[in-house]
Structure 1
Amino acid sequence: MTDTTTALESLVARLAETAPGLRVETGPGSTGLYAYDASNYRVPPRAVVFPRSADDVVAVLRACRETGVPVTARGGGTGMAGNAVGPGVVLDFSRYMNRILDIDPVARTARVEAGVVLDALRSATALHGLTFGPDPSSHSRCTLGGMIGNDACGNRSVRHGRTSSHIEALEIVTADGVRAVADRTGLRAADPGDTDAVQRVAGLEADLRRLIDGNLASIRTELGRVPRQVSGYQLHHLLPEHGFDMARALVGTEGSCSVVTAATVRLVATAQASTLLTLGYDDVVDAAEDVPEILRWNPTAVEGMDEAIVATMRARRGPDSVTGLPEGRAWLYVELDGDDQVAVDARAGELLDVLEAQGRMTGGRVVHSPAERRSLWRVREDGAGFAARLVDGSESWPGWEDAAVAPENLAAYLRDFRKLLATHGLTGVLYGHFGAGCVHVRIDFDLATDTGRAATRRFLTEAAALVVEHGGSLSGEHGDGRARGELLEVMYSHRMIRTFAAFKEIFDPEGLLNPGVIVGPARLDADLALRELPLLDTTFTFPHDEDGFAGAVRRCVGVGRCRSDAGGVMCPSYRATGEENDSTRGRARLLQEMVRGDVVQDGWRSTEVRDALDLCLSCKACSSDCPVGVDMATYKAEFLHQHYKGRVRPRSHYSLGWLPLTSRLVGYAARPVNALLRGPVGKLLARLGGVTTNRRIPAFASRRALRRALRPARTGETAKTLLFVDSFTRAFRPEVAGAASRVLADAGIPCTAEDDLCCGLTWVSTGQLSLARRIMARTVARLDNGDGRPIVVAEPSCAAALKRDVPELLGTDAARRVATRVHTLTGALTDLATPGWAPPELPDNVVLQTHCHEYATFKGRHPRDLLGRLGVTKVDEAEGCCGLAGNFGFEEQHYDTSMAVADLALKPRLDDVDPWTPAVVVADGFSCATQIDHLAGDRGVRALHLAELLDLAADRPGQPGENS
């Protein structure tokens, strides 16, 4: 037994004794997830602990000190410098210590636990007209504890500066387990009645005062020189002229001196009026040249980015995903605010005139629409993710993504920095907080080979010297971490480096807190996650990833957008459970570990990976919402295929996976089968098939019902489209096929129907890929017959399977040709209908549930937009997954999660609907409609397919299907 194993066992035993009930996880399924943050580094911990209180943190730190196990505090795990990974215990504050303890609107303060997500705080304080000033792009998932650790800034740092400027007090636990409070005047014990703690804290403060008094000159001359000087420790806040501000001095220490459990933060008033200017330039240096003039106008934000990010977003989310930018190859966003909208808009116009006169802009405009502003800010906020995997498939990495100079020096620095890139044969994607002189850049380093790592090291050393030459800082907000700690000697004198070391030693004499960061730093090229991996033999072709499955799962770089609670659709299972291993990022990281084979050693047979993927709904939303295009549904299908190869599968894989075949057979005897399934035999069959008995099994339609539904509404017209009648429509709602054929005819694109083929979706979602390929090959052979007509599919999930899964599984030109012809009904009516076509009358108010696969796969062709164009005044969209998600919500072990997901968005919308209200519920997906019936059917609420809505609007209801 190794010393490491002994220490871990002692630690776990000690915690069981001192903190009973504390959640401690030591298995590969947890340590593999927490080996990463959003940086280039991988450091597997020995254990992950989820504290619920400061007392739990005290117990952990005391136990770790007794056993010699290091501790790393972690918030959202979105840091890019490697400061949220460590070799001992990782404390995840985001899971349970995420409460807002108090808001004082009069004093404009809030007291929060370390795991509170920034957006949660901002939502709560918005009720009082207040907000927290710093706003990193990761605001939807970063925590206040993480922001304090890094001294985070954000897009509006021109106005609000760094986190340290907004901290009134920190509640901390020292390395030896003493609770204390750091505030604007010093350090004190949290419990004044605890004599030992009072003495210990008094000794700490005395030692700190002696350290500062002995190094006044170097602290005054080396620290606090530029607005974004985050590198090192911010000891200048302890100078006599600053009142020994211990709270601000501990901000930015990256958990290396103490562990923050809670904070009292200062709030600022929300602006009454604001506007956004978008300015175009030929070059980021030209944009930087205009920054000093812009700063004279007191903006709240001056953000910059180059063309690579915009091109990638348009390619991934559709050409309409970025609108409102003037011509150019680089852009600035400039936000102005004030008390009066008219005055703010006037200032914006004046600034635009001044910048036009200076002659560097290629164009500029004032963005008045709030919706357009939100869309534009999303482009900037997703910059780190988009820059990681560009439209051409190239990858880029952090490492030198955080340097900062004085804003007036920015253009000169950028000019020299780009020369340095060129000298080293590197390409960088630039974006960042230009108004604060802070530049983010992701660079195409080769981090997988020894040669590439050596070249990276040379570049970073020269880059450090360059930014110091321009009077800047290695870090402007992300912290030093493992990426830049070793380079601090380039920036600071030996005396200051020794002062930093002495500061940490006073707090942490045994060096247990986040070792390898800032003081005694690890080599910047140690513990790098990327390495060369063998190609795996897979069934999916992964055509967009050079290294196949390994390259596909490597798409995840940890930015953590999947961990947000609002906005977009991903990740429904994380939103329901709050567990990292139920997030897209967590699953991707564990798959990366499986490919590596170090922590997860069983490869495709891994039970840890199987369990992490279990609650993935295969909604595909991540393939669109994730900035780097992680497609967990495809990865899960591949894993299930490999995991169960040659083995007995879960029962639901047979009962639900083979549904297209069994439903076809049932169609010949629908009436007696439906009667049988409604009784006790139906429940017995459900249990035998691994299907939940909490849902009604949908009634099957007869074959005759489909023939009646597809009876031609008109004759004598040339069919311009092919209606692909999928298995769900054929088996359960043939009336939708009839309505779709009539609507297509009305829209000037009449169809013929093909009702004898299958897209293979259910076999894909259950990982039965060999069967799926055979079924898809038959379908492609029938469809790729020289008939170039568009293929319209009423069921969005089947349309998505034909559009994406079929070509990626078969990998043939024929499959790709078929995929290019596929449209949802929404897409067909948007792109192919006769110009000016519209149904005579539609309801004013529609409650809409968009199918996740349609949202993810058919970019820019969403039912919401079509309904708006057709005259629906209000479309109340339940943004998020319905929770049923094909086979997922029918499986007995997933029913509770399915309902929890429905509670997030769909159920609240349905609760406001009843049969007597004017709102109509629309859901094209069979799963979505089934979930709606389950949630509100007993109240008479029924979901219409878009085809049914438009068919009814034409006052030609057609013939109902015969589901008996």
Structure 2
Amino acid sequence: MAQASTTLAEDLRGLFRGMLRVDAVARRLYARDASIFEVEPQAVAIPQDADDLAVLLKYCQEHQLPVTARGAGTGLAGESVGAGVIVDLSVHFQAIRQIASDSVTVEAGVRYAALAAALAEQGRRLAPDPASGDVCTIGGMIATNASGSNLYRHGYIRDYVQELEVLWDNGESARLISPAARPCPLKRGESGETGVRPAAPPAAEGPRTADIRRGVTELLSAHRHLIACRPTATPYDRCGYRLDDVWTPAGVDLARLLVGSEGTLGLVTAARLRTIPLPGGCAMLLLGFASLEAAVRAGSDCRRFPLTACDLLDQRLLSLRRRPAHPGALAIPPSVAAALLVTIEADSPEQALERGWGLANTLCSAAGAVLLAEPSCDPQQQARMRAVRQEAVRGLYALGPGPRPLPGIEDLGVPAEELPAFIAALLELLQRREVTAALLIHLLTGQVHLRPLLDLEQPQDRVRLWTLAEEVHTLVLRLGGTVSTQHGVGWARTPWVERQVGPLYPLYRELKRIFDPRHLLNPGKIVGPDPSREAWPLYEPLPPPNPPPLSANGRRPLPLVFDAAAAAEAARCSRCGDCRTHQLPQRMCPLFRIAELELAAPRAKAELFRLLHNHPPRPEDLDALTQIADWCFLCEMCRLECDVHVDVPRLMLELKGQLHAVEGPRRFEWFLSRLDFWAAWGSRLAPLSNFLLRRRLFRWLLEKLTGLSRHRRLPRFARPSFFRWARRQGLTEHPPAAARGRFAYFVDLYAAYHDPSLAEAVVAVLRHHGSAVYVPPRQRSAGLGPWSAGDLEAFRELARHNVRLLAECVRDGYHIVCSEPTAALLLRRYYPLLLDDPEARLVAEHTQELTTLLVHWQQQGLLREDFQPLPWHVAHHTPCHLKALGGPAATATLLERVPALRVEPLEAGCSGMAGLWGQHAAALPLSLQVAQPLAAALSAARATLTTSECSACRLQLQHLTGYRSFHPVQLLALAYGLLPALQPRLSLPLPLSPLLSE
């Protein structure tokens, strides 16, 4: 495979303008999506536009290379997994071309959430609402004919497609307009009941398009009676190619035929979709039942009401969130064995509420339901109700190692009247097979999402899953149901398509031949399973840990060894794709938002460790591994916002450390590892060091030597340092006991050598509250520089020194306080991880971040409020590392206690500074791209000051605004009247940055 991939790359050099990855790391990371299947491709292609994709398709046809289109990779059926070339359309095909009064034209890579936000500004929406809407793409929705929980009311996306732009297997482009979007009345004497009247081909229709249209017309005309006579037990069947409404009086609707074909007939690059108005009113309610059977039987009563969605959660799901996840969350009584979450859309809120109460009264009296949450149109109350479902589903993925909820047979559908019988038979089957499962049922449509809890690392469970799938699908088909209603066919359900569609299956094969005679478009899906592959190509389990193989001379070719613990942590990732979100205020992986590449997503970084455990890396993998390591600046947001809390930052730190040990430090990493030295000597040599930093030639030389960007506004060095001031003030001597306790202040570099007024403010505010403050005299930096550079040996050396010093303080009765969130994070989280020392754990348990401590005092009524008014407008940015500490990021509420101080929290994502990463010359453009939402929020806020707990974030705020930024404790000290010398700095102009001045 490697040789074929190299040949492909050489052949396309100069022809294909997009990114083409043929390295083993990229190929293996694209071998999976959100499903349980894995097939390694020969290459990964990221075309820049449709013309670029056409070049690739033409080459693949000439060289017999399969092509599989991929969007966000959130499919549960493995429809975007395949051999040959994976074409990632989620990176560049992201234009919303036009929003008209009742339609929208978008490219295939546009995210549903981005489109929904743009349409909402016009009072419109796209009717289907897929569960993965935050991250899935419109092209992926069209490929799988997506719907959502509102399928009962709004149908599938194929009902809203008006026009498609597609590429055929030979690279020819076509523009397919649905006759439903442009009615074409029949001529007198013509009838659509006896055949298909071919529509006049458009003038620009190419030869391949004409051949396809002709072949489809002849095929459907010859078998129109077979198509019409096929019984459809449920209207929510999307298994295979939908043929029943493709031939129309105006001609064959090729656009409608392609929707739901999963890229097996052609590749969709853009679409025009019909939109609908936002609902005039929307109400939600939550009902509980004493048994699952009672809740299922209530479905007949629900269908008598004009509902939009009605989701049933079984006891397994509810048990995962019995305890509310946060204050204000809805509590579910233990007596409730099933719950119904009901959504009602109407022309007005009053009408929606009236229907909601009508349903509630009916089910409470006739079905014995309990009203867990009253019908409400309030967005906050609806969010609490939706959280019941979200937290329950997320709880499944957070079960840890061992049996986990598996997709694969989760897309079942039976006629509504058969649903009670199906559920009873299904429960009996699960009990007989001794399989635990979770059920989420859409009562209105008869859709059942079944997730058995099995462990695919165990060979016996891999067999059990296939056996269970066979029995469940047999049961569904016996009841006249379908094996696919919502999540696609893919690898998961292709083995049962022929059994379901029966005599139509030969037509499917012929359709495939017409569109794709060489079987190169997503082969093995829907029709034509590859006999050389197993029916279910399940992902590769973790093998027992083995050392990497030795080379001929007895030395390992690439000494990167990742233990089983790291692989097990990586295996906890469910690959759901939620980490690909761009939605604010979530901060999930700021670098992925810029790179847009799957290899930059947190799930790929987790998957990398599973792959490295299964396939020890080779020397040729080094560049790809380094690139992935560089796509993580350890902001910790993926760990915090992931439903499973997979510790991707810890894994990436291990990768950075091993690469640093193998490759040695690069220029900027060498500079970071010696940050203590540079900061201390910069302070000692001030003002000379500050004079040199203002010189353009010196900054240019500094960039060439260290990689530190000459376009950044670098902080001035202070002389004397805070440590000298602290010695003069007696702070380095142990103080006596105090009423509010004793605190050992861990200062860290910025407050010590760049802004001593910050450290002075910390001391003053703590003393103002009756606390004694001690500054340990021999403390060194927390280790941000070597930690972010991956120099783990230097980091451990700093950590051991600080732990010995601070553990002694803890034993003497001190609590450790940090004004720098990153320092608190390193002391509390990474010191115990990397040292595995009881003293490190002791230090971690007694370390607090300063503003978190003050907020805690405020909540307990212990914060002094003898403030003087501060008549300013302040915009506050919460750093990522403060969020990562897990405490209440409520500094804005703390500042709001100051009279006349107007505080505006900025919920605009990451600042893009990431410690010193944003100071790197190579990272500067990316850093500013990450900060674009923050810059827009700052511009809208029009504040006179900015605040943030993180020194690096304050540097970015200063770079973006051109005025000074402060730590919140500095404003508190001013309000307490403790640091009058700080007052003049608030009005001093900030010198222009080198970037602006040049």
TM-score tier, shorter chain, comes to 0.7 to 0.9
User: What fraction of aligned residue pairs are identical, expressed as a percent?
Assistant: 29
Q: How does 1:413-492 map to 2 (within 5 A)?
A: 413-431=422-440, 433-492=442-501
Judge conservation of contact 1:305–1:432 (CA < 8 Å) in 2: yes
1:350-404 Cα deviation digits (max 9, x unpaired)? 4334443332337223455424544654674587665333268864332222223
Query: 1:336 Cα deviation (Å)?
Result: 2.2
Q: How does 1:846-861 map to 2 (within 5 A)?
A: 846-861=874-889
Query: 1:67 Cα deviation (Å)?
Result: 1.2
Q: How does 1:358-373 map to 2 (within 5 A)?
A: 358-361=367-370, 363-367=372-376, 369-371=378-380, 373=382
What amino acid does structure 2 have at the position aligned with 1:203? R
Judge conservation of contact 1:485–1:518 (CA < 8 Å) in 2: yes
What TM-score, normalized by structure 2, do the two folds share? 0.85
Q: What corresponds to 1:831 in structure 2?
A: 856
1:664-689 Cα deviation digits (max 9, x unpaired)? 45555554444444445465344322
1:637-695 Cα deviation digits (max 9, x unpaired)? 11121112254211222322332354345555554444444445465344322211111
Q: Establish whether residue 943 from structure 1 lines up as the match of residue 968 from structure 2.
A: no
Query: Where in structure 2 are there 5+ consecutive unaligned residues?
Result: 181-195, 549-561, 986-998
CA pair 368-339 structure 1, distance change in 2 beyond 3 A: closer
What amino acid does structure 2 have at the position aligned with 1:643? L
- The 2-side partners of 1:64 and 1:564 are apart by 32
Query: 1:284 Cα deviation (Å)?
Result: 5.2
- The 1-side partners of 2:167 and 2:528 are apart by 21
Query: 1:924 Cα deviation (Å)?
Result: 0.4
Judge conservation of contact 2:745–2:773 (CA < 8 Å) in 1: no
CA pair 88-708 structure 1, distance change in 2 beyond 3 A: same
Q: Establish whether residue 900 from structure 1 lines up as the match of residue 929 from structure 2.
A: yes
What is the aligned counterpart of 1:213 among 205, 224, 239?
Answer: 224
Q: What corresponds to 1:42 in structure 2?
A: 38
Judge conservation of contact 2:30–2:44 (CA < 8 Å) in 1: yes
Query: 1:470 Cα deviation (Å)?
Result: 4.3
- Matched position secondary structure for 2:931: helix
What is the aligned counterpart of 2:599 among 578, 581, 591?
Answer: 581
Judge conservation of contact 1:11–1:64 (CA < 8 Å) in 2: no
- Matched position secondary structure for 2:936: helix
- The 1-side partners of 2:895 and 2:435 are apart by 47
What amino acid does structure 2 have at the position aligned with 1:26? V
- The 1-side partners of 2:811 and 2:886 are apart by 24
> Number of residue pairs matched?
936
Judge conservation of contact 1:279–1:325 (CA < 8 Å) in 2: no
What amino acid does structure 1 have at the position aligned with 2:846? R
Stretch moving more, 758-767 or 875-884: 758-767
What amino acid does structure 2 have at the position aligned with 1:580? E
Q: What corresponds to 1:507 in structure 2?
A: 515
Q: What corresponds to 1:819 in structure 2?
A: 844
Q: What corresponds to 2:784 in structure 1?
A: 761
Query: 1:849 Cα deviation (Å)?
Result: 1.2
What is the aligned counterpart of 2:160 among 160, 166, 191?
Answer: 166
Stretch moving more, 712-721 or 442-451: 712-721
Q: What corresponds to 2:745 in structure 1?
A: 724
- The 1-side partners of 2:528 and 2:30 are apart by 22
What is the aligned counterpart of 1:156 among 115, 138, 150?
Answer: 150
Judge conservation of contact 1:457–1:524 (CA < 8 Å) in 2: no
Query: 1:257 Cα deviation (Å)?
Result: 1.9
Q: What corresponds to 1:323 in structure 2?
A: 329
Query: 1:746 Cα deviation (Å)?
Result: 5.0
- The 1-side partners of 2:670 and 2:972 are apart by 36
Stretch moving more, 258-267 or 579-588: 579-588
- Matched position secondary structure for 1:235: coil
Q: Establish whether residue 876 from structure 1 lines up as the match of residue 905 from structure 2.
A: yes
Q: What corresponds to 2:305 in structure 1?
A: 297
What is the aligned counterpart of 2:938 among 867, 885, 910?
Answer: 910
- The 2-side partners of 1:741 and 1:885 are apart by 26
- Matched position secondary structure for 2:487: coil
What is the aligned counterpart of 1:771 among 772, 794, 806?
Answer: 794
- The 2-side partners of 1:736 and 1:613 are apart by 33
Q: What corresponds to 1:572 in structure 2?
A: 590
What amino acid does structure 2 have at the position aligned with 1:693? R
Q: What corresponds to 2:956 in structure 1?
A: 931
1:326-349 Cα deviation digits (max 9, x unpaired)? 445654332223333344334434
CA pair 698-193 structure 1, distance change in 2 beyond 3 A: closer
CA pair 14-642 structure 1, distance change in 2 beyond 3 A: closer
Judge conservation of contact 1:188–1:198 (CA < 8 Å) in 2: no
Query: 1:515 Cα deviation (Å)?
Result: 0.9
Query: 1:766 Cα deviation (Å)?
Result: 1.6
Query: Where in structure 1 are there 5+ consecutive unaligned residues?
Result: 539-544
1:147-166 Cα deviation digits (max 9, x unpaired)? 11111111332321221222
- The 1-side partners of 2:479 and 2:897 are apart by 53
Judge conservation of contact 2:228–2:244 (CA < 8 Å) in 1: no
Q: Establish whether residue 886 from structure 1 lines up as the match of residue 903 from structure 2.
A: no
1:871-899 Cα deviation digits (max 9, x unpaired)? 97763314211111112111222111111
Q: What corresponds to 1:542 in structure 2?
A: none
1:479-502 Cα deviation digits (max 9, x unpaired)? 111112113345343x23333323
Query: 1:312 Cα deviation (Å)?
Result: 6.9
- The 1-side partners of 2:291 and 2:772 are apart by 50
CA pair 741-369 structure 1, distance change in 2 beyond 3 A: farther
Judge conservation of contact 1:40–1:530 (CA < 8 Å) in 2: no
What amino acid does structure 2 have at the position aligned with 1:763? P
Q: Establish whether residue 71 from structure 1 lines up as the match of residue 67 from structure 2.
A: yes
1:216-266 Cα deviation digits (max 9, x unpaired)? 3553x1x4x324322222222236799854433322111112222222211
Judge conservation of contact 2:17–2:52 (CA < 8 Å) in 1: no
What amino acid does structure 1 have at the position aligned with 2:77? A
What amino acid does structure 2 have at the position aligned with 1:886? G
Q: Establish whether residue 131 from structure 1 lines up as the match of residue 147 from structure 2.
A: no
1:291-335 Cα deviation digits (max 9, x unpaired)? 4433433232323446776887899xx942872454456543322
- The 1-side partners of 2:385 and 2:723 are apart by 46
Stretch moving more, 199-208 or 943-952: 199-208
What amino acid does structure 2 have at the position aligned with 1:718? A
Q: What corresponds to 1:272 in structure 2?
A: 280
- The 2-side partners of 1:449 and 1:125 are apart by 47
What amino acid does structure 1 have at the position aligned with 2:85? V
Moved over 6 A (4+): 185-190, 239-243, 307-315, 712-716, 868-873
- The 1-side partners of 2:687 and 2:872 are apart by 38
Q: What corresponds to 2:556 in structure 1?
A: none
CA pair 524-109 structure 1, distance change in 2 beyond 3 A: farther
What is the aligned counterpart of 1:553 among 545, 565, 570?
Answer: 570
What amino acid does structure 1 have at the position aligned with 2:961? A
Query: 1:923 Cα deviation (Å)?
Result: 0.6
CA pair 793-347 structure 1, distance change in 2 beyond 3 A: farther
CA pair 215-621 structure 1, distance change in 2 beyond 3 A: same
Stretch moving more, 240-249 or 41-50: 240-249
Stretch moving more, 73-82 or 371-380: 371-380
- The 1-side partners of 2:764 and 2:294 are apart by 56
What TM-score, normalized by structure 1, do the two folds share? 0.88
What amino acid does structure 2 have at the position aligned with 1:443? P
Stretch moving more, 582-591 or 648-657: 582-591
- The 1-side partners of 2:983 and 2:681 are apart by 18
What is the aligned counterpart of 1:528 among 532, 538, 560?
Answer: 538
Judge conservation of contact 1:46–1:89 (CA < 8 Å) in 2: yes
- Matched position secondary structure for 1:854: helix
- Matched position secondary structure for 1:644: helix
Q: What corresponds to 2:242 in structure 1?
A: 234
What amino acid does structure 2 have at the position aligned with 1:439? V
Q: What corresponds to 2:29 in structure 1?
A: 33
Q: What corresponds to 1:640 in structure 2?
A: 656
- The 1-side partners of 2:769 and 2:381 are apart by 30
Q: What corresponds to 1:183 in structure 2?
A: 178
